[in-house]
Amino acid sequence: MMAARKTTHFRGVLLRNEPMADHTSWRVGGPARNFYKPADLSDLVEFLQAQPRSEQIEFVGLGSNLLVRDGGIRGTVICTSGVLSVLSLEGSGRVRAEAGVACNKVARFCARHGLVGAEFLAGIPGTMGGALAMNAGAFGGETWNVVESAETVDHSGHLHEHPSHDFKISYRHVVRPGNEWFTAAFLRLEHGDAAESEKRIKELLAQRNASQPTQTANAGSTFRNPPGDFAARLIEATGLKGHCIGGACVSEKHANFIVNMGNAKAADIEALIEHVQKTVLETHGVELVREVHIVGEPQ
């Protein structure tokens, strides 16, 4: 990995050939040709304005729910985690959370200010940008149920604000207007008991730690739950719990999680995903749909 350096025209930090294994929760992935960490939102806008329209752009937060192939990414990765990090109250019951803020931090912030309904965000192991992009959910809650509007930026660096009805929202899927990326969300919440909300968050985190392989490198739920069923139940019923390809294994703790046992390649994980899909389809006639976003080139 090359040392971080300031760019000539921008205030952020640009890395060349940066290993994406250092920026994904699976701890796998080849290099990004360019990896840019903007200084803030205005710096991000200026950086995008300088990029050619042909440049492939990928936004990454904490790198959960993301598989980068071993050949890496030929374009530019923009990392928002810890950068787009503003979290603020915007009037009664309204919270603005930038895309790089971790979801569990948003949950705690809302609880401290006596706003209820966002506790489930504590169970999402990613940032608000990723949660918005896939309508992430946990413990019966879904991101877009509490979103009033969202701010976005396009490839040309123009900022937009859209009400929630501008987006097509479904289970773990969001269709955005145009080629835009999320920069912030405005949440609308009810006033309630701060202590009860904080207690609920602790309970949800304890439940998550008890039922999920949180101590092993993973990317959260690998597949969406099919209508009226659970992906984990189908995978376990197929006998795939503990099944491994290379260093990638179906978790013994929760069958809808694929874990990196320490020496996995992205190719191992992708092959295991495909094997699980194929076997469940052959055994149960159910086609599992990935939650995980796969990008990059094979090695």
Report how far apart, in Å, the C-alpha atoms of 196 and of each of 63, 107, 124, 258 are. 31, 13, 20, 33
Catalytic residue among 25, 81, 221, 251: 221
Instruction: Return the amino acid letter for 82.
Output: G
Task: Enumerate helices (H) and strands (E) in the chain, giving the number of each.
Answer: 6, 22
CB atoms < 10 A from the CB of 255, how many? 24
Residue 203: active-site member: no
Which among 98, 142, 151, 291 is annotated as catalytic? 291
Burial pattern 100-124, b for ≥16 Cβ within 10 A else e, equals: bbbbbbbbbbbbeebbbbbbbbbbb
221 included as an active-site residue: yes
Q: What is the residue whose two structure tokens read 């376990």?
A: 236
Among the listed residues 96, 172, 188, 200, the single catalytic one is 172
d(CA 179, CA 59): 12
Question: Between the CA of residue 206 and those of 60, 211, 212, what are the distances in Å?
Answer: 27, 9, 10
Q: Is 16 a residue of the active site?
A: no
Residue 15 burial class via C-beta count within 10 angstroms: exposed 0-12, middle 13-18, buried 19 and up: buried
Q: Are 283 and 238 in contact (CB under 8 A)?
A: yes
CB 88 within 8 A of CB 46: no
Distance in angstroms (rounded) separating the CA atoms of residues 4 and 18:
10
Output helix, strand, coil percentages for the chain, rounded to the nearest 5: 30, 30, 40
Residue whose token pair is 């984990």: 232
Supply the residues annotated as catalytic: 172, 221, 291
